[in-house]
Amino acid sequence: MNVFHYPQSDINTDLLFPGKYTYTCSTGPEIIEHLLEDLDPSFAGAVQSGDIIIAGENFGCGSSREHPSLGLKHIGLKAVIASSFARIFYRSAINQGLLLIQSPEAVEYYSEGDVVAVDPAAGEVRVGDRVFSFPSLPDEMLEILKDGGLLSHIKKQYTRGDGV
Amino acid sequence: MGETFAIKILSRAAGKKVREGEILFVEPDYILTHDNSSAIIGKFESTVPGGRVKYPGKIAIVLDHVIPAASSKHAAGHKKVREFVKEQGIVNFYDIGTGVCHQVMPEMGLVKPGSIVVGSDSHTCTYGAFNCFATGIDRTEAAGIWITGRTWFKVPQTINIELTGAFTAGVSAKDLILTIVGDVGAGGANYMAVEFNGPAVGGLRMCDRMTIANMGIEMGAKIAAFPANSETSKYFENMDLDITDAVWSDFDAEYARTLEYDLENIVPVIACPHQVDNVVPVEKMAGLKIDQILLGTCTNGRVEDLKAAADILRGEKIHSSVRMLVAPASRMEYLKAMKMGIVQDLVSAGAVVLPPGCGPCLGAHQGALAPGEICLSTANRNFKGRMGEKEAEIYLSSPETAAVSALTGEVRDPREVLR
């Protein structure tokens, strides 16, 4: 498990996925090649399923493009832990089924080389020798996340015959 | 205590009194999507194969981001959208050349005061200028709303911005909103609604309100809203629209924070790379050499903006060291500018006019930057790589600052010319 640490605030969606590719790359495999291209060109080649990103305030600000959340979910990123998230990105991550953990304390405590482990069910994140709890999502959002994203959630409702 | 705009409009939509922090499901009045509709169609079709959209009449699609198509891949996306709108009976479809979605939505009467609009574009907040609760969502959520007709909102807290006074010569709405974004910060209004109040609001033209509301997202705001008044009514007077359903906050509404601005004290400002909240007075950057100027976009591409630039450039020549691109916000605004001789003035001065649309704002085509180049833009974002090249720099300013700077190829304070 690797931790990618980007401590700066206001990492925007252009840094996470450049706008010039937004209408030519829409699927997971197309997107992951350019993820974080203008922030950390080595990320796309290095990231693996189960990895974690740790970031500062207002992570994911800017555009409503979903390529960052979709791409990170496609890779199998375990979670993004940040001091705070921009709202459209936060929504988008729920829609993609990507786990976001808002824990300024965990971000503050982290230093390079610390082992980070996440237990979403317990609402806990372990950083080195310390455990931080994070608030659970509201039920409505938790259900979407549990179903693997908004469209899987809707599909499930359709097949259950609940209607929508 | 009274209620905010956000509480009132969401209470009406939910059919019950709501409080801040509550999560509720509502049916938006319109769902806007643009070139990204082709990807949304893919999501829609894989979720409900052979399905119909729930409310075809509530869907609005505008092709504006990469128009005309820059490649066959882009063209295939546009084609898919044209076929889908026919199949699904979506009448609010606006093909290339109509304009930027955020200009087209009001022009087509789809932003009724007091309504709720979502869009798969972060600058959907622009319709707050028309008293809409309008906010950005991602593509997946747009696909979901096409299917179900509804989505959820958390009722936001509100920041109140009180405006007094009047702009002085050479200063405009863009300088005000850049100043506010600089003060509040890129995340300072995250998850929150922003309301504009105070005696100066009534005097702001609709184009000014649009420029201001458009940039609400640059401080993280969920919505940025204005009250509806006679200016709003006037805008809609030739359409089948009025302000009878408009909503506004009570005089004693409870705000998370109140900020006050006297327009008299606003000076020309510029947002420096690579963040919109990196705002300084233009005079501090005076003399900075620029390679390209972009006038236009959903932030400053209306006829009033083009006129402000043309008034400076009329009979003059753009400096040989700089190239100037003009992207009118819509066909209607373009036609108005032609009728008034503004296009003639800009082209005579040496500007290159692009089709009404997003132009190079998102870096996909039409005026991308080379490494090391500097662009002065009237758009809303200066993020690294935004105009197609991460080693380029983007500065954001008003149309007035952009136009006076075009004359010398260097950043200049517009008050040198406008007094």
Q: In what order do the strands lie in the sheet with A116-119?
A: A116-119, A124-127, A130-133
The Cβ of residue B288 has, within 10 Å, a number of other Cβ atoms equal to 18
B287 touches chain A (CB under 8 A): no
User: What was the pLDDT predicted at A159?
Assistant: 74
Q: Which residue on chain B is closest to A154 by alpha carbon?
A: B144
Chain B, residues 102-131, CB within 8 A of chain A, namely 119-122, 124
In the numeric block, the tokens 């087509």 are attached to B108
Residue intervals in chain B for CATH 3.30.499.10:
5-14+23-262, 271-414
CA–CA distance, A102 with B104 (Å, rounded to integer): 37
Alpha-carbon distance of B229 to B11, in angstroms, equals: 22
Phi/psi for A72 (5° steps) reads -65, -35
Q: How far apart are CA B275 and CA B385, in angstroms?
A: 11
Task: Please tell me if residue B147 touches chain A, with a CB cutoff of 8 Å.
Answer: yes
Decide: A93 and A100 in contact? Cβ < 8 Å. Answer: yes
- Whether A15 sits inside 8 A of B385 (CB atoms) is yes
Tokens 């990103």, located at residue? A53
Confidence of residue A139 (pLDDT cuts 50, 70, 90): confident
Mean pLDDT of B219-244: 95
Q: Is residue B188 pLDDT above 80, yes or no? A: yes
CB B106 within 8 A of CB B130: yes
The region of weakest confidence among A81-85, A142-146, B263-267 is: A142-146
Q: How far is CA B199 from CA B5, B106, B203, B261, in A?
A: 17, 24, 8, 11
Task: Report the run of H or E that residue B6 belongs to, with start and end.
Answer: helix B5-14
Q: Is B68 at the interface with chain A, CB within 8 A?
A: no
Q: Does A56 touch chain B (CB under 8 A)?
A: no
Q: Which of A23, A13, A25, A41 is nearest to B364 (CA)?
A: A23
The mean per-residue pLDDT over the stretch A52-61 comes to: 98
List, in sequence order, every beta strand (DSSP E) within B171-227: 193-197, 223-225
Residue showing tokens 């010569």: B169
CA distance B249 to B254: 9
The per-residue pLDDT for A80 is 98
ipTM for the complex?
0.94
At B361 the pLDDT is 94
User: Hey, is the C-beta of B82 within 8 angstroms of any chain A C-beta?
Assistant: no
Contacts of A9 in chain B (CB under 8 A): 186-187
The residues, ordered by sequence, that sit 6+ positions from A27 with a Cβ below 8 Å of its Cβ are: none
> Are A91 and B138 within 8 A, CB to CB?
yes
Q: Say if residue B266's pLDDT is above 70.
A: yes
Euclidean distance between CA atoms B355 and B35, whole angstroms:
15
CA distance A66 to chain B (A): 6
Instruction: Mention every residue, 6+ apart, whose C-beta is less than 8 A from residue B136.
Output: A64, A88, B118, B119, B120, B121, B122, B123, B124, B125, B217
What is the per-residue pLDDT across A78-134, written as a single tens digit (0 to 9) for each?
999 999 999 999 999 999 999 999 999 999 999 999 999 999 889 999 999 999 999
**Nearest neighbour of A23 by CB, restricted to B144, B364, B390:** B364
> Hey, is the C-beta of B79 within 8 angstroms of any chain A C-beta?
no
Query: Chain A neighbours among B 206-245 (CB < 8 Å)?
Result: 217, 220, 222
Give the minimum alpha-carbon distance from A137 to chain B in angstroms, rounded to a whole number. Answer: 11
Smallest Cα distance from A6 to chain B, Å: 16
pLDDT band at A59 (very low <50, low <70, confident <90, very high): very high
Q: Rounded to an integer, what distance in angstroms lies between the CA atom of residue B60 and that of residue A159?
A: 28
Q: What is the mean pLDDT of residues A32-50?
A: 97
Query: Do B368 and B389 form a contact (C-beta atoms < 8 A)?
Result: yes
| Chain B partners within 8 Å of A10 (Cβ) | 186-187, 275, 277
Q: Strands B257-262, B158-164: parallel, antiparallel or unpaired by DSSP?
A: parallel
Using the Cβ of A136 and the Cβ atoms of chain B, whether some distance falls under 8 Å is answered with no
Question: If you measure CA to CA, which chain A residue comes closest to B156?
Answer: A87
From chain B, pick out residues whose CB is under 8 angstroms from the CB of A155.
47-48
State residue B180 phi and psi, 5-degree precision.
-65, -45
Question: Which residues on adjacent β-strands are paired with residue A99?
Answer: none
Mean pLDDT over the full length of chain A: 94
Tell if the CB–CB gap between B385 and A158 is shorter than 8 Å: no
Q: Would you place residue A138 in the very low, low, confident or very high pLDDT band (cuts 50, 70, 90)?
A: confident
Q: Could A151 and B144 be called an inter-chain contact, meaning their C-beta atoms sit closer than 8 Å?
A: yes
- Pick the residue from chain A with its C-alpha nearest to B63: A23
Say if residue B68 is preceded by a cis peptide, omega within 30 of 0. yes
Q: Which two tokens stand for residue A160?
A: 């259950």
List A residues 94-133 in contact with B (Cβ-Cβ < 8 A).
Answer: 95-96
Calculate how close chain B gets to A39, using CA atoms only, in Å: 9
pLDDT at A160: 67
Helix axes B303-313, B331-339, angle to 10 degrees: 40
8 Å CB contact of A12 and B148: no
pLDDT at B1 over 90: no
Put simply, the chain B residues between 31 and 60 with a CB less than 8 A from any chain A CB are 35-36, 38-39, 42-43, 46-48, 54
State the Cα–Cα distance between residues B315 and B244, nearest whole angstrom.
Answer: 45
Task: Name the strand (E) or helix (H) holding B234.
Answer: helix B230-235
The highest-level CATH class for domain B5-14+23-262 is alpha beta
For residue B236, CA distances in Å to A18, A65, A131, B60, B240 come to 37, 31, 57, 18, 7
Distance from CA of B43 to the nearest CA of A (A): 8
Q: What is the mean pLDDT of residues B241-247?
A: 95
What's the pLDDT tens digit per position in B59-76? Answer: 999 999 999 999 999 999
B60: phi then psi, degrees, rounded to nearest 5: -125, 130
Cα dihedral B113→B5→A83→A76 (10° resolution) = -40
Mean pLDDT score of chain B:
97
Q: Domains for chain A: give ranges and CATH numbers.
A: 3-160 (3.20.19.10)
* pLDDT exceeds cutoff 60 at A164: no
A11 in reach of chain B (CB within 8 A): no
* Mean pLDDT confidence for B339-355: 98
Minimal-distance CA residue of chain A relative to B147: A164
Residue B190 has its nearest CB partner, among A18, A20, A84, at: A84
Does B58 have pLDDT greater than 70?
yes
pLDDT at B419: 86
Q: What is the mean pLDDT of residues B287-301?
A: 98
Which one of B35, B39, B275 has the shortest CB-CB distance to A10?
Answer: B275
Provide the 8-state DSSP code for B330.
B
The closest CB to that of B138, out of A18, A64, A154, belongs to A64
Whole-number percent of chain A with pLDDT over 70: 97
What is the predicted pLDDT for the residue at A162? 57
Give me the total of CB pairs closer than 8 Å, taking one residue from chain A and one from chain B: 142
What's the pLDDT score for residue A121? 86
CATH architecture, domain defined by B271-414: 2-Layer Sandwich (3.30)
Q: A22-31, B90-99, B265-274: which range is least confident on average?
A: A22-31
Distance from CA of A87 to the nearest CA of B (A): 6
In this predicted structure, what is the pLDDT of residue A161?
61
Contact B138 A69 (CB under 8 A): yes
